[in-house]
Amino acid sequence: MLNKTTVKDIIKARGSRFCTVTFKTNAGEKRKVNGQLRKPTEAQVNHWLQPIYNVHTKKMASFYWTDVEEIN
């Protein structure tokens, strides 16, 4: 898993461009989402939560910065 500071820096550098994120869900499963990063609300930032628009399901998803395994 990546350090949350590293994930924060990558997200800040990418802005709202498309990316692929692999992360661990609360149920312990691995999930891979290809989508566009969205700007988090203040409450989401305080809980290290990042929203992302999933282009395959055409729905919003989110992941915790602490559970990211890969981001590119």
Tens-digit pLDDT profile for residues 17-61:
999 999 999 999 999 999 999 999 999 999 999 999 999 999 999
Q: Residue 15 — pLDDT band, cuts 50, 70, 90?
A: confident
Report the distance separating Cα 41 and Cα 56, nearest Å.
Answer: 23
What is residue 18's predicted lDDT score, i.e. its pLDDT?
Answer: 93
* Chosen CATH of 4-71 out of 2.30.30.520, 3.30.70.920, 3.30.360.10, 3.10.310.50: 2.30.30.520
**What is the DSSP code string of 7-62?**
HHHHHHHHTT-EEEEEEE-TTS-EEEEEEEE-PPPHHHHHTTEEEEEETTTTEEEE
The helix/strand/coil state of 3 is coil
